[in-house]
Structure 1
Amino acid sequence: MEISRFIPKKSIKLYTSVIVSVIILYSFVFLHLTVAEGQIENANLLTAVYWVMTTMTTVGYGDVVLLSDTGKAFSILVQLSGITIVFGILFPQIIIPWIEKAVKTKLPTHVPDDMKHHIVICASTKLVEILIEGLKDQKVSYVVIDDDEQAVRELMKNDIICIYGNPAEEDTLQRAKVQSARFLIANKSDSENANIALTARKISQVEIISMADDISNTKYLRYAGANKVLSPKRLLGLYMGKRAVDPFVNRLTGAIEFLDGVNIVEFPVYPKSPLVGKTLKVANIQKRTGANIVGMLKGGTFSFHPEDSDIITENTVFLATGTTEQLSNLQKLTV
């Protein structure tokens, strides 16, 4: 693996020139001192370079030694400058960046050549992970783009198709084959989603779905190129409003199709529900219904990251995703 792939060639040439120049200079000084000290057997270029290299790297085998006071002072100078060059320049400026970037290249950066009609998902979150489970069940192709190295490694560990890169950059989206994708989901902060939408719209006509933390940013995300803007908080408010008008409705009122055949909807938990008093882990909703809980409203606080230890109460509201059948199964458990 060539270092020049990862470090600018100008930098490599500069550092190499400095190091070689210093070694040559020190070698000639060494030759002069060995002759002055009468060490004729060591007065040759090979020994000079050998001594300079071992002294600069602080290895110092001790088989070749300068004995005069001037020679000892020169040895100290070579050691100190060697520490600066090797540990202050060579390692931090060339070796370590090379190793780090070489490791990063092991992260996936391209989708398979035959991937098409897939879903491009920008950033990994709990909502996305649950959404992916639904995509897998329906055998829908997808790829997650994330610029967090650790997040990508975690996705790889969980066998989730992903690539490493900034989803707001053209090159990354092209490597994700956004031009042949069914649609793109922007799932970062509102400002980042706007940049993603602008970039994606510049290079493709893919349908863009953007998540919005702040409802007031909806129009700006649309201006940026998003075809749809979803705000889970807004969806929750609309659903609860409909429930207030018709609290005993037996159908999936307020359900919004998030993907083909996959809906997102909110379910309040009623006092007589068998789920009341149980933790999410004990309730085991996903296994019992097939639906996924992506958020919870409890005690006036909404969380997009519900924990297994969260207790379900009669005033809990679930934000769930799934097919119509899966959500209907969940609805039966909440009443």
Structure 2
Amino acid sequence: MKLPAMWRRSLYHYLGISLAVVIIYTIVFLLLVNYEGQTQFSNPVDALYWVITTTTTVGYGDIVLTSPIGKFFTIFVELSGVVMVFGILITFVITPWFEKALNMPLPTKAPDSFSSHIIICGYNRLMETLIDELEEQKVNFIIIEDNEEILRSLIEKKLPCIYGKATDDETLENARVGNARFLIANRSDEENASIVLAASSLADVHIIAVAEDSANIKYLKYAGANRVVSPKLVLGRFLGKKALDPYVMGLGGATTFLDKYSIVELPVYPASQLVGKSFNEANIHKKTGANIIGVRKEGKLFLKVEDEEIIKENTVLLATGTMEHLSELKDLTK
């Protein structure tokens, strides 16, 4: 069973602390057996053996500290061992098992107080920049997601979200579609058509649909979308612009979509602090607000970016964000 990132981090901390405690106990044991004159046990193997059997409360009794201070130390090690061993067992084995067995309920309704908010149907990288902007502007929004794993990651990030299919009337009503300012349909084109039809029949809400295939733009408009955007079409126009003028770099060659958001290519210069770091270590999104959606290496464009991939000099980043975010990223690449 794969542990969530939060549990993995806690487990690493727990194990690190436990290792430090075992080392300290081993050193104290060696000091005490010398103090008591039990020099036959004054070696790392016997010391570690005693610490492990005592912390796990096994205690075979073949090595015993007999002085008053030694007995107090033994009691302390046993009690702390219960906390360490059973604490780990309960936290990382029993609790996750119970959570999975009980299938802890996921949020299914937006707060009653929600009004003039934005409903985002489907979460992916394209929406990350938009969500950051909404949080910065303190605009209420709710994400509808039917993937349980993605939803739990959103909950961990403390992003407002509900579980359900955005094509269902009940889910849209639970998202307070009647009080919403905008609805963004960000699923497959087929699902988006159903979302648009359902939302337009339930409320007078401004609907923006994200089209995977530019050929489906007109059908989404027929379904009732007030506006349709196609990231692939925007990306195609951007790459077309680059093909016509491949030497133009920087924000001047940015292609705009969704009013304030743009796509741009930015080269990583040899002196950049990004060189030699993985995308995970660089933490570009947190530092600049921009999202990296692709990289160009040796003349080839790759739209899948791995977190562990190392950024090299002359790598070209394909980024999205507001002009402010992209300007900050440009400074980071120099």
TM over 0.5: yes
Q: SS at the partner of 2:308? A: coil
Distance 1:297 1:193 in 2: 28
Pair 1:207-2:206 in alignment: yes
1:43-58 aligned at under 5 Å gives the runs none
Evaluate the alpha carbon distance shift between residue 243 and residue 333 of structure 1 in structure 2; reply closer, same or farther with a 3 A threshold. farther
Distance 2:140 2:252 in 1: 27
Distance 2:270 2:234 in 1: 25
Q: SS at the partner of 2:258? A: strand
Instruction: Please say if residues 270 and 334 of structure 1, whose CA atoms lie closer than 8 Å, have aligned partners that are also in contact.
Output: yes
Evaluate the alpha carbon distance shift between residue 219 and residue 311 of structure 1 in structure 2; reply closer, same or farther with a 3 A threshold. farther
User: How far off its partner does 1:215 sit?
Assistant: 1.8
Structure 2 residue aligned with 1:295: 293
Evaluate the alpha carbon distance shift between residue 284 and residue 160 of structure 1 in structure 2; reply closer, same or farther with a 3 A threshold. closer
Structure 1 residue aligned with 2:195: 196
Q: SS at the partner of 1:295? A: strand
Instruction: Please say if residues 297 and 316 of structure 1, whose CA atoms lie closer than 8 Å, have aligned partners that are also in contact.
Output: yes
Structure 1 residue aligned with 2:166: 167
Evaluate the alpha carbon distance shift between residue 113 and residue 316 of structure 1 in structure 2; reply closer, same or farther with a 3 A threshold. same
**Kindly, what percent of the aligned residue pairs are identical?**
39
Instruction: Please say if residues 252 and 328 of structure 1, whose CA atoms lie closer than 8 Å, have aligned partners that are also in contact.
Output: no
Instruction: Please say if residues 251 and 326 of structure 2, whose CA atoms lie closer than 8 Å, have aligned partners that are also in contact.
Output: no
1:99-132 residue CA offsets vs partner (Å, 9 max, x unmatched): x99956x322211111111110112223334532
Amino acid at match of 1:316: V
Aligned pairs, number = 231
Larger Rg: 1
Structure 1 unaligned regions, length at least 5: 1-99
Distance 2:256 2:205 in 1: 20
User: How far off its partner does 1:187 sit?
Assistant: 1.2
The alignment's TM-score, normalised by the length of structure 1, stands at 0.59
Distance 1:327 1:268 in 2: 9
Instruction: Please say if residues 144 and 165 of structure 2, whose CA atoms lie closer than 8 Å, have aligned partners that are also in contact.
Output: yes
Structure 1 consecutive aligned stretches of length 4 or more whose deviation exceeds 6 Å: none
1:159-183 residue CA offsets vs partner (Å, 9 max, x unmatched): 1111122111112111111122121
Evaluate the alpha carbon distance shift between residue 155 and residue 281 of structure 1 in structure 2; reply closer, same or farther with a 3 A threshold. closer
The alignment's TM-score, normalised by the length of structure 2, stands at 0.60
Instruction: Please say if residues 268 and 317 of structure 2, whose CA atoms lie closer than 8 Å, have aligned partners that are also in contact.
Output: no
Instruction: Please say if residues 185 and 208 of structure 1, whose CA atoms lie closer than 8 Å, have aligned partners that are also in contact.
Output: yes
Pair 1:114-2:113 in alignment: yes
Instruction: Please say if residues 128 and 291 of structure 2, whose CA atoms lie closer than 8 Å, have aligned partners that are also in contact.
Output: no
Instruction: Please say if residues 209 and 220 of structure 2, whose CA atoms lie closer than 8 Å, have aligned partners that are also in contact.
Output: yes
Structure 2 unaligned regions, length at least 5: 1-99
1:272-311 aligned at under 5 Å gives the runs 274=272, 275=274, 278-288=277-287, 290-299=288-297, 300-303=300-303, 306-311=305-310
1:1-335 aligned at under 5 Å gives the runs 103=103, 106-245=105-244, 247-248=247-248, 251-256=251-256, 258=258, 262-269=260-267, 274=272, 275=274, 278-288=277-287, 290-299=288-297, 300-303=300-303, 306-312=305-311, 314=314, 316-321=316-321, 323-334=322-333
